Amino acid sequence: MCGIAGLIHRGKRSDVGTEMTSMLQALKHRGPDSTGFAIYGAPRENSLVMRFKVAEQEDITSGGFKIHQQIKDRKAEVDRRLTELGVMLSEEAEPTEYAYRYRFSYDGDLENLAKYVEDVEGAEILSLGSALELVKDLGDAAVVSSTYGLAGFNGTHGIGHTRMATESDVDIRSAHPYWAFPYNDISLVHNGQITNYWIMRRQMERKGSRFMSNCDSELLAVYTADNLSQGATLEESLRQSIDEIDGVFTYLVATRDELGVAKDTMAAKPLVLYESDDLIALASEEVAIRAIMPHEIDTYDPYEAEVRVWQA
């Protein structure tokens, strides 16, 4: 059934890494297969963070003796291509054998960069932006957060997802959040089923969009990216999706300084919302909100076809 959660602090920063971990751990029963975080720190001018992987976790156990060397070779090829493009690398972290975090400066075309990197076998950019840090992996929130060192991450907002795989594989590729390729700092999590997935995917692919998985949720990220590329605001894109996306869904979208939500016309997927002057928190179940606010609070369920956008 999957669980989604998000929060946004208004006018201040907080340890959103720990907060999102607590919220998603409380939703573990809704999806134990994988967990993902998209959290937003202070944007840095002239500096980008790229999270990417060159293999799946499963490849390590099933890939035989050669997989370790293959991973090294793939990473080396990514490095070579970045150097070739003129990327100035300033930070490099390797939380796992197969997933990496690079900070660099680059003033070229990001879409070309992304496509060139993803042309390397096994390579997938999980996120690219000046404020966004996107991590996702197999396991519950506590495991993924610990592996990627998210505790203490100082930021303004974040979204996350606990996944129960229903129609696609249990792997990082199919885990949420999705980065809205190739747009900086845009991420998305979704709970539901998109019933016109293949129709819309074929339309988007004909327009040149890239899909990395067969997960219907990825369509929403690509769809959002396409709308934004045509000049739509986040709120306009969310409202448009109510009419154009068929199925039952609740999804959250985060940008560098915004958090948005859209629900389908039947309100068939759950969402509980807490809203105060300085904090918005929303999740599939209230138990996730209680994980960061144990005191008594007022919450409510947004209604059908409801769209909301908040600023950090």
* 177: DSSP letter: P
Decide if residue 304 touches other proteins (CB under 8 A): yes
Decide if residue 276 touches other proteins (CB under 8 A): no
Selection from 260, 35, 10, 53 nearest residue 160 by Cα: 35
Q: Which of 285, 307, 309, 310 binds other proteins (CB under 8 A)?
A: 285
2 in catalytic set? yes
Decide if residue 296 touches other proteins (CB under 8 A): yes
H-run or E-run covering 50: strand 48-53
Selection from 74, 168, 58, 160 nearest residue 117 by Cα: 74
Distances (CA, A) of 92 to 34, 48, 109, 186, 188: 24, 12, 21, 22, 25
Q: Which of 55, 132, 270, 279 binds other proteins (CB under 8 A)?
A: 270
User: Taking the CB of residue 295, how many other CB atoms lie within 10 A of it?
Assistant: 5
Decide if residue 286 touches other proteins (CB under 8 A): yes
Candidates 14-22, 86-94, 237-245, 267-275; binding stretch for other proteins (CB under 8 A):
267-275
Helix (H, G, I), strand (E, B) or coil at 230: coil
- Residue 175 or 272 having the CB closest to other proteins: 272
- Residue 19 or 286 having the CB closest to other proteins: 286
In whole angstroms, how close is the CB of 197 to other proteins at the nearest point? 23
User: Please, which residues bridge with residue 22 across strands?
Assistant: none
Q: Which of residues 3-32 bind other proteins (CB under 8 A)?
A: 29
Sites of contact with other proteins (CB under 8 A): 29, 265-268, 270, 272, 285-287, 289-290, 294, 296, 298-301, 303-304
Catalytic positions: 2
